[in-house]
Chain A
Amino acid sequence: MSARDDDKRSVFYARDIHQISLVLGKFLQKSGAETVLLVDRAGHLIARQGEMNTEGEDTITALVAGLFAASQATAKMLGAVEFSTFVPCGDDRNAMLLRAGDQALLAVTFSDDTSVTLIRTYALEAIRRIGAIMGALQGEGDPEERIHGYRFDREIDGALNDVFG
């Protein structure tokens, strides 16, 4: 990913975030998931989509990062490169965490009515497209646009309808 390492915190440009949010919005629309967070390795929120109580958001992203670190350590011991973590949360709710490049993690919540395979398939596609967006924009952008863990709340406007074809 093209996130710049600035004091060990991922830095993104607003337009990166905008495009990433569009991808995440499409992911929700296609997969039927409830919420999706893109969190960096340090636990900072990069982007999110879906209805979510924002009060405990910082704690959630920190825990996601903690779980990410534990999952990564587990995967490393098993000699795995790619990995995902599935957590049945009870009350008809599930969470899935997937590695998104080297620096980030995608955290998805969804109900029992939604297919795990469907979530994984669309999540992997979203991760691939997010990676492409970040890769394409690497080295570009106005430093004034830089944001740290930007919370993007705009509705999907369909500007990148070609994102998922």
Chain B
Amino acid sequence: MNERTGDVYRLVFELTARATDVPYDKFLDELVEGLAAHYGAHVCRVHVGDDQRYAASADAAGRVAALDSTDRARFDTLDVMLAEEVKNDGVLRTALDLDGGAELVNFLARSLQTPETFAFPLVARGDAFGAITLYLPDAYPFEEADVRGLQAIGNVLFAAANRDGVAKAGAAVPVTSDKLRAYQETLEEVAKILDELLFLTDAKTVLLLDSQGDFISKRGAESRYSSTDFATVVASGFAASRRLAGLYGTQEVHSVTHEGDTESVFVIEVAERALLAIIYSDHNAPALVSRWTQSAASRLRGHYEALTEARVL
């Protein structure tokens, strides 16, 4: 992984890690500000859903606000058209792709000093539901990692927008005992973390398992194999890796990655007796998947005591 690729993934991880901590609107503001700063964009906007207006906009120097009302309206229209194009066909676009593209580029260069424009689709569950538009002063050497990183943001926005629904999906029958209620809350919190990880990574399946190979919890698509069997082979592979590392002089094995033809499995230790496994397709960015999984494992560690006490582990 080259330095710039790493930078993109770090940026996306840092931006998206806030998705579960701050209100949705604030998250959107932080997202566009972070992207604008990273890419050196004069203006960055995010469009979500069917709204004919951007959901958040970063314009640190106030360039858009400084435009006269006619130019500002023209820019807003252009921005919406670009976002709609991207939402319709789900592929990256520039202002040149719009009708009268050359004239629009001249307008952007004259009014905002941003001749370079890029609009990325926000995709979740296979559908484009929004767009990120970047207005740049110079050409930027976009790479595959940039596209993957920006696409990954789509899952995060989708997860953030549906966060309430996710939390409610795990709601269970109310219990009266304080202790049972505490257990239930822990289990709901664990389920929420797994759901969020699934949304964030657009992974196929997320599994929480005992290091002895007992399957505990699963989120994601139904598989053609038994989850219990899968948990057993994953746990045995992890145990062998740890022992192998011990012979190489360290006990510090915290993760193992099995890379297949089209799907891969990332396994990380949650605590002494628990493992978190995530199955993802090769269209995902592995570096982001591992970071998000590490983050989820870290959050699950906070519930380890409760899970042990509840005899889940």
Contact = CB atoms under 8 A, between A and B. Distances in A.
Interface SS of A by simple majority: mixed
A77 B229 contact: yes
A29 B265 CA distance: 30
Interface string B247-268: 1111111111111111101000
Interface size band for A? 20 to 34
Contact of A87 (B253, B261, B265): B253
A164 interface: no
A74 B275 CA distance: 15
Contacts of B247: 56, 59-60, 63
Interface stretch (A89-97, A125-133, A136-144, A146-154): A89-97
Given A82-B260, A85-B257, A77 B244 contact: no
B240 interface: yes
B207 to A, nearest CB: 12
Contact of A63 (B230, B240, B262, B263): B240
Contacts of B244: 60, 63-64, 67, 87, 95
B237 A74 contact: yes
Contacts of B259: 83-86
B295 interface: no
Contacts of A83: 258-261
B237 A85 contact: yes
A67 B245 contact: no
Interface in B104-120: none
A87 B260 contact: no
B233 A80 contact: no
A86 B245 contact: no
Contact of A80 (B225, B248, B255, B262): B262
Given A70-B236, A74-B237, A90 B260 contact: no
User: When A and B form their complex, which 6 residue pairs have the shortest distance between CB atoms, in order from nearest?
Assistant: A90-B252, A80-B260, A70-B237, A67-B240, A77-B225, A89-B245
Given A74-B258, A84-B259, A91-B252, 18 more contacts: A60-B248, A63-B243, A63-B247, A67-B237, A67-B244, A79-B261, A80-B260, A80-B261, A82-B261, A85-B237, A85-B256, A85-B257, A85-B258, A87-B256, A89-B248, A89-B253, A90-B254, A95-B241
